[in-house]
Amino acid sequence: MASRYSLPESLSGLRAITHLSSGEREFKLAKKYAPDNPLIGPMANLYLNAEEHAVLAALPGERLSKLRHRLGGFTVDVFEGDLSGLILAECEASNRMAAMSVEIPDWCVREVTSVPEYTGWRLAQNRDGVI
């Protein structure tokens, strides 16, 4: 399943998601909290309707656009625009032990979990596409 994400980063977690298989649109405001351990951190989602999203999306801020795929237990984001060529994979786990037991596939080149330059906020600020 693939989904296209448009992320106005003025609110860091404001998302407009288009599920490519169905055309269905989904809107949400996500908040990721700074974790004590980079392997697992709490996150909350507030689901919005189109009108609520439009009000928040009108605020100034940088934008990210990416195509999201599911590959096994991983979410793979293929970035577009200024960050074209960047591909990030992420695995969600319910607790620290589950996160530590994830086997990293051979197609993963570099571990960036604790590298601040790869957070959504920092990527949105990166207009030259160089990381």
Half-sphere exposure at residue 99, Cβ-oriented, CA atoms within 13 angstroms: 13
Q: What is the pLDDT of residue 62?
A: 80
d(CA 50, CA 25) in angstroms, rounded, equals: 9
Q: What is the pLDDT of residue 25?
A: 94
Q: What is the pLDDT of residue 87?
A: 94
How confident is the prediction for the chain on average, in pLDDT?
82
Each residue's pLDDT tens digit, 27-63: 999 887 776 766 667 788 999 999 999 999 888 878 8
More confident residue, 33 or 15: 15
Q: Which of 131, 123, 116, 107 is nearest to 13 (CA)?
A: 123
